Structure 1
């Protein structure tokens, strides 16, 4: 197994005195990569772990004046529906939302163009993550004719230009897969953690959380909610409770909110039998320990 680079302490670990010293790389890292189908990459296990887990959060800046957190959530909720309808990969959704949040931090956006920006972000994310991508015309049809293919392509050029083509993003879903494999989490726990993680895309503040910390919070919350079922693997200790503290309550509140107007897509998606009705289970179990959200 390759040793971790010397600057790793200055990235993932620096300034985290509340966490006890942990062995690095984490025990079982190479085996976790095998679980994820990366058996051929065991030699680079340490480098892969650093690349995935040391992803940076976006700057904690306010949304543009014309865009409220609720308007952003409305667009992201619609993107979740389009993403599911097209049967796209999970990483595509997280990249699209990351591009949306990145653009909102560097350029002004008129409210009437927010949906067009969201579709442009999804279009670019498909080019990065998917083997085949939807045609501009089909995306415009899903937008109910609110914009044309020419407008979508212009929005794509603006997006790429303002972001300087910085499209690499080791998203939280990849981090969750790695952390769950390390912790030997059961499939039901991983499913619940995936639900919590996807709920977080609706929250504007989630862009200020590092992908690895966000994934760790989702996994920790899922393990806590399903604690009565037992059988969990070892705690990784990559993040202290204080570091996960602001994130877990946000995810819990979102799960308790249920299918609220403009924020229903993720809840309803995970309420289906194909996903074990896990959103209903989460709301029921959380309601026993958490107060209802305002």
Structure 2
């Protein structure tokens, strides 16, 4: 008898792209549980998977830079075309364009490098409570079910994120609507299940999660709850990541986030991802659309 798939199995299935021609891949899309468009983290992760499929195994992803051009349509697959920009002795560069309905919806450039020794230092990991001491997502959301629109909305949010165990240190933006806070946010996260040892898989899973909460710090500065309560309209505009050290996405990672500025209907956020033993694994920067609804 076949075991039923887990939410993590389903997420890994989304990242297992179909190759339809040399350097051309097709990815499926998840159903729109929360908003009527494809989740940006999914598109970024799939594009990085496509790029990685054309790179030698001895070269690890060290950075990506991307732009979200159009909302993704969850009703149709996404086609990813990879352009082999450069294959050098140490570095490999790839460009990926994601297309739906004959139009590009996302553009990514990624760089890969063979391992080498070099100078090394890092910022210290900020203080944070142990993730096991924090409320689960179900507990956090359940405590604010009335503000979010009731138990059905809570169920849909949990369903959209159930492949990932994500725990807020100081609570999400909707927990302090109308109460501006310092524009900083921390979450711990890991996948809800073990992953294979493929380092590229862990990088792609972190890319997926990195788009979930990064703009929270922008909202906190203004006491806004975000899409969950409908007091802002938002979307990712661009997204950049640098992968510094090896890590596992199925072990606890601290995502420390802050917003230095917001203006012109846009908010800038930056994040640092640390392993539980204090190693700086990833740096992230994103600018997002953050508009106040009119009328």
Q: Give the structure with the larger helix fraction.
A: 1
Q: TM-score, normalised by structure 1?
A: 0.25
Q: TM-score, normalised by structure 2?
A: 0.25
Q: Give the structure with the larger strand fraction.
A: 2
